[in-house]
A and B are shown apart, each in its own frame.
Chain A
Amino acid sequence: MAKQTVETKTLVEFKNLKTHFHTSAGVVKAVDDVSFSIREGETLCVVGESGCGKSVTAMSLMRLIETPPGEIAGGEILFEGKDLLKLSKRDMSRLRGNEVAMIFQEPMSSLNPVLTIGEQICEPLILHKNMDRKEAKKRAIELITLVGIPRAEDIFHAYPHELSGGMRQRIMIAIALSCDPKLLIADEPTTALDVTIQAQILDLMREIKTKVNTAIMLITHDLGVVAEMADFVVVMYAGKVIEEAPVIDLFKDPQHPYTKGLLKAKPVLNQKQERLYSIPGQVPNPVELGSNCHFHDRCEFCMEICKTKEPPLRIHGDSKHKTACWLYEEEGKVQ
């Protein structure tokens, strides 16, 4: 359950991260000057629509951006104080799967079909933890049990195709947790699953978080999942962070018109609405975006300044709630 975060140490800090892709149509600034931090043991949700740069942010942290066409054009990603972007390839692979682990949306395509589940769980244990085969197997079976799969011994010898989608996602979580990572990145981990299976996986992630106390960076487009899982939320739109706040504040008092719109646009069970609120228009083409508020052409409060100048991400009121919107700036109030 979501709870108020206590002051803890910062684990990861994104500082003005810029990840660009060079395409034939022009430069796509998939992540454009993004800064936020993840504290130890915290669940941070990054929420936004497709193409807003939430996955690219995570991939940049893992240094999994293919170059070319991609390029990390600037900024820093500090993990426990050291800049991941400056690490050598070797140091980076030592970190990946060890201190930072990642699970993906598609549990079907992220497991190797020709290796048994056991071999795939043992691999990082042998590689990162220097265990021998026997120890690794023992630990693997513990992990399979930890993620709530019965008959761990049988599953150890099974191949991925013998498992259902939900089970495969549990195995992915087991692999991710095998080396006790400090940060677990989960990129839409339940989007491909049915709601009843989604509920199982979310429960599992919550349970595991209290057991092993890793920080989770959860990427999702579903505000329902955010409300259930997050301690802190970052809202992205067209490559920018437009709002960030503790989860309770964000849902109680959303500030950015886009966040407000998103919250109103989703039909909620057992709430009668005559007509859904809809944000007009569509997400802008990411190629060659100008320096203005990227949401201005869909915003009902759009002012002159929004079309020409980019709003800064700043605190307005509550000490942890930041918004990038001219409505809350002096310039906006004057007009």
Chain B
Amino acid sequence: MTEALVEVQNLKKYFPITGGVFSRTVGNVKAVDGVSFTIHKGESFGLVGESGCGKSTIGRTLLRLNDKTDGKVLFKGQDIHQLSKSQLRSIRPKMQIVFQDPFSSLNPRIKIGEAIGEALLSHGLIDRKDLKDRVMETLKICGLAPYHYNRYPHEFSGGQRQRIGIARALILEPEFIVADEPVSALDVSIQAQIINLLTDLQAEKQLTYLFISHDLSVVEHLCDRVGVMYLGSMVEMARKEELFGNPLHPYTKALMSAIPIPDPTLKRERIVLQGDLPSPANPPSGCKFHTRCPLATDLCKEKEPEYRDAGNQHFVACHYA
């Protein structure tokens, strides 16, 4: 196994709920509640879960776009949340993010050539005279054409905008990219193009990805290791082959069986979860999944299951797995 690039130790991120006349904190939304994992150099780590499970918050807290509440995030051994502003700034180019919505992440009044080159200039990583060539080169790598340099964002389709988003991250020559639902807003035929682009870039530039998605099939295709989240906690994590071949947590099993498979002749037993996702402001006691779990017992209601290695680097938090 290669060296660790990013280490997350018992990370917590609570968002306060304010109320009353004086806007006092009356509670906390525990968006991320004690999550630990390691991403090795050159690997793709996938985070999956339903909306509100805290997967995007992890991505943002990893890059210190959010402050943490507790825990540690180490990037190449350095605690990101302990760095001074200038130290943080010098490390920023090494870790970049690609957002879900390519429509709202571009300024409509800035030509995309400038939008892509902007970060390089402001980090002082390039001479102004070399800038255009670098941008052109990056455009080409991301499957765009040089004449796109002087165009505005509205002239591009969703897939092309996502390529621009990737180009902006890539031009800084990062080592680590957080991709937060990069293909969810795109049509199927365009999704495949972007997924292939991400795969190619990783091979070419030895990138490390944290890939956040709700789509298990995309994660299975793209990632080496996968973590499954539920209400702010990691419930299962393993190598892709392990996780998809032998899922242990009942939530993971339910998620997998919920995905519609494009084969009308296939008949399978589906585990349909009852009820809705509980609110993270007021999570259930014990195992957070017990309200929807088909196997829940009294033990699950009272005691939080331990997150343990079930063998073969396959981690799971369930009393009965």
Contacts and interface: CB of A to CB of B under 8 A. Distances in A.
Contacts of A267: 192, 195, 217-218, 220-221
Nearest to A200: B272
Contacts of B199: 275
Contact of B262 (A199, A200, A263, A276): A263
Nearest to A237: B189
A273 B193 contact: no
A301 to B, nearest CB: 16
Interface string B144-157: 00000000000001
B267 A1 contact: yes
Interface residues of B, number: 43
A36 interface: no
B221 A227 contact: no
A114 interface: no
A268 B151 CA distance: 36
Contacts of A265: 188-189, 191-192
A263 B189 CA distance: 9
B221 A276 contact: yes
A25 interface: no
Interface in B108-160: 157, 159-160
B273 interface: yes
B298 interface: no
A163 to B, nearest CB: 9
A164 B277 contact: yes
A55 to B, nearest CB: 14
Interface string B241-271: 0001000000000111111111111110010
A328 B188 CA distance: 25
A282 interface: yes
B196 interface: yes
A227 B217 contact: no
Interface residues of A, number: 47
B101 interface: no
Contacts of B214: 194-195
B258 A251 contact: no
B188 A49 contact: yes
B187 A248 contact: no
Contacts of A263: 262
A164 B199 CA distance: 36
Contacts of A266: 188, 191-192, 217, 262
A135 interface: no
A195 B217 contact: no
B188 A221 contact: yes
A269 B187 contact: no
**Which of B51, B217, B260, B262 is the most central at the interface, judged by chain A CB atoms within 10 Å of its CB?**
B260
B191 to A, nearest CB: 7
A235 to B, nearest CB: 12
A230 interface: yes
Contacts of B51: 194
B264 A268 contact: no
A225 interface: yes
Interface string B54-85: 00000000000000000000000000000000
Contacts of B39: none
Interface string B214-234: 101110110000000000000
Contacts of B5: none
B64 to A, nearest CB: 28
Contacts of B50: 194-196
A92 interface: no
B276 interface: yes
B190 interface: yes
A2 B261 CA distance: 13
Contacts of B257: 199
Nearest to B219: A267
B187 A283 contact: yes
Contacts of A262: 188-189
Given A195-B50, A196-B273, A269-B220, A49 B189 contact: yes
Interface in A253-269: 261-263, 265-269
Contacts of B262: 223-224, 226-227, 251, 263, 266, 268
B261 A224 contact: yes
Contacts of A276: 192, 195-196, 221
A203 interface: yes
Given A270-B220, A278-B196, 5 more contacts: A50-B187, A203-B270, A224-B261, A227-B261, A262-B188
Listed from nearest, the 9 A-B pairs whose CB atoms lie closest are: A224-B260, A278-B192, A49-B187, A265-B192, A199-B258, A267-B221, A194-B50, A223-B262, A279-B189
Interface of B: 50-51, 157, 159-160, 187-193, 195-196, 199, 214, 216-218, 220-221, 244, 254-267, 270, 272-274, 276-277, 292
